[in-house]
Amino acid sequence: METTSKNFIEQIIDKDLAEGRCETVCTRFPPEPNGYLHIGHAKSILLNYGLAQEYHGKFNMRFDDTNPTKEKTEFVESILEDIKWLGADWEDRLFFASNYFDQMYEAAVKLIKKGKAFVCDLTAEQIREYRGTLTEPGKDSPYRNRSVEENLELFENMKNGQYPDGSKVLRAKIDMASPNINMRDPVIYRVARISHHNTGDKWCIYPMYDFAHPIEDAIEGVTHSICTLEFEDHRPLYDWVVRELEYPHPPKQIEFAKMYLTNVVTGKRYIKKLVEEGIVDGWDDPRLVSIAALRRRGFTPESIKMFVDLCGVSKSQSSADYAMLEYCIREDLKLKKPRVMAILDPVKLIIDNYPEDQMEELEIENNLENPELGMRKVPFGRELYINRDDFMENPPRKYFRLFPGNEVRLMGAYFVKCTGFEKDADGNITEIHCTYDPETKCGSGFTGRKVKGTIHWVAARTAFRGEVRLYENIIDEEKGVYNEDGSLNLNPNSLTVLKDCYLEPSLKDAKTYDSFQFVRTGFFCVDSRDSKPGAPVFNRIVSLKSSFKLPKAE
């Protein structure tokens, strides 16, 4: 029987279950609704959901919406759409931190009554000065020893809007000499008169994330609060909050390494600038790695899950090559999608000895590697379009495509031999002339002679003229992500728009997110924003070939 080694989080959960610390497993994904999710968030979503599935537990979806200055309903809706698309099912457990504001206020009052919290009048700058450094302890606030009664009255006045923004905060009373700066009497509530997307103007005080988060987990019965490594130094405060508030089943925080991708932009500040300057057409521009952008470009949930699985779960920071993400989408699509003919740089080919008014339908396999995808009928006629680089007037050695006097197979059709060509005044090839051999029809069993080259085509009379977008990395990979001044190193060729492409007529009816392999070109997906019925726009998801190879198992 094959055994799969468990990652360190699974080992911790196994131990907690065996020791009776918890009877079931409950995880959660808790984003702040202040932007669009990116590929790194996908790892957290799939990890938390996957653990809940593995242990037959529950997965909660919760918005940590405690900072109304940056939060929007637009972000809430986009995040929900992303998580549904990835396949993580929160069932009926959609929560908002803001729904717990009353309980958080009562929790703060409880800490005050226990002598574990106090109202402080120091400014934000003074609090920083009093905090000390990594090598020097902090010093107590002059307001630290206010009486319980005074603190209760001041905190209630804060809630009732009697003080201006920033004039007072509530701080936990822990240890100003702690070697962990997060434990030096951290702020847990601040005054902020800002309308909230969920609670409106009910509150003019808001809890800080480090105070709110453990309370949310405890209220929901989360057993394992799985987060990224930057929260490791915050864990003592997390544990302090749930301990001092005496929750009967305290959640356990576990940290894992973030997933970093080489040569991509994930920072909200940078993406916002790209959007505002019109360099990209939104947070879902297919050159970005937000989940919405990957979906629009044509990536699949299965490919992203494969990528996350290949990256693994660990405590050590590392970067994954973007080429590995491309490998995953190729692997996912190559047996699933039909291979269709699309001519992106067209030149006309005329078969002079083919009947002028005749059209026929040829049966062509949808996917040579997967016969289960069946066959399709493709119209064929006297005039065709082929790719310009499939013909050369003066070819180099070992060029097996079309040139004067050479014979090639038209994919799924006949052998054709080049008899001549025409040029315009600038020397550009405008038409290629051929003759065909009707005995060589594909599938006829013809064995008289062989040709070395096969080229694809579309019939001019029935071809669908459409727009195709070729995407490359928005970052210039040779120069790296950032310039010396901190600006982005943008690739000027990250988007090429081709408006005069000719495609098989069946593609005219392709629907949003439908994807195909364009023969010899790459995998393409129907754009979800700019396509219209009968006029799909195709985004290149990924080219066909890559130098990326999976490392061999030891």
Query: Looking at the domain 8-256, which fold is it?
Result: Rossmann fold (3.40.50)
Query: Looking at the domain 346-460, which fold is it?
Result: Ribosomal Protein L25; Chain P (2.40.240)
Share of the chain above pLDDT 70, in %: 98
Query: DSSP alpha helices (H): ranges in 334-445?
Result: none
pLDDT tens, 352-394?
999 999 999 999 999 999 999 999 999 999 999 999 999 999 9
| Residue 130 token pair | 């009093």
CA distance 535 to 26: 46
How high is the pLDDT of residue 268?
83
Indicate the pTM of the whole model: 0.90
Which letter does DSSP use for residue 266 in this model? -
pLDDT band at 411 (very low <50, low <70, confident <90, very high): very high
- Return the number of other C-beta atoms located less than 10 Å from residue 40's C-beta: 17
- Hunting for tokens 């070819």 — which residue is that? 395
Share of the chain above pLDDT 90, in %: 84
CA distance 59 to 90: 6
pLDDT tens, 346-355?
999 999 999 9
CA distance 324 to 330: 10
How high is the pLDDT of residue 3?
54
| Residue 419 token pair | 């008899």
Mean pLDDT, rounded, for 152-179: 96
Secondary structure in 3-state letters for 7-74: CHHHHHHHHHHHCCCCCCCEEEECCCCCCCCEHHHHHHHHHHHHHHHHCCCEEEEEECCCCCCCCCHH
How high is the pLDDT of residue 67?
87
CA distance 21 to 61: 23
The CA distances from residue 184 to 105, 137, 151, 239, in Å, are 21, 9, 19, 15
CA distance 544 to 546: 7
**DSSP reduced 3-state for 532:** strand
The set of residues, in sequence order, having a beta carbon less than 8 Å from that of 115 and lying 6+ positions away, is 148, 173
How high is the pLDDT of residue 478?
78
How high is the pLDDT of residue 554?
46
CA distance 88 to 83: 6
| Residue 256 token pair | 């894992």
Asked if residues 85 and 291 have their Cβ atoms less than 8 Å apart, the reply is yes
Quick check: 465 pLDDT over 70? yes
pLDDT tens, 25-35?
999 999 998 88
Per domain, the residue ranges of the chain are 8-256, 346-460
Asked if residues 325 and 305 have their Cβ atoms less than 8 Å apart, the reply is no
pLDDT band at 552 (very low <50, low <70, confident <90, very high): low
Quick check: 262 pLDDT over 90? no
| Residue 425 token pair | 């005044």
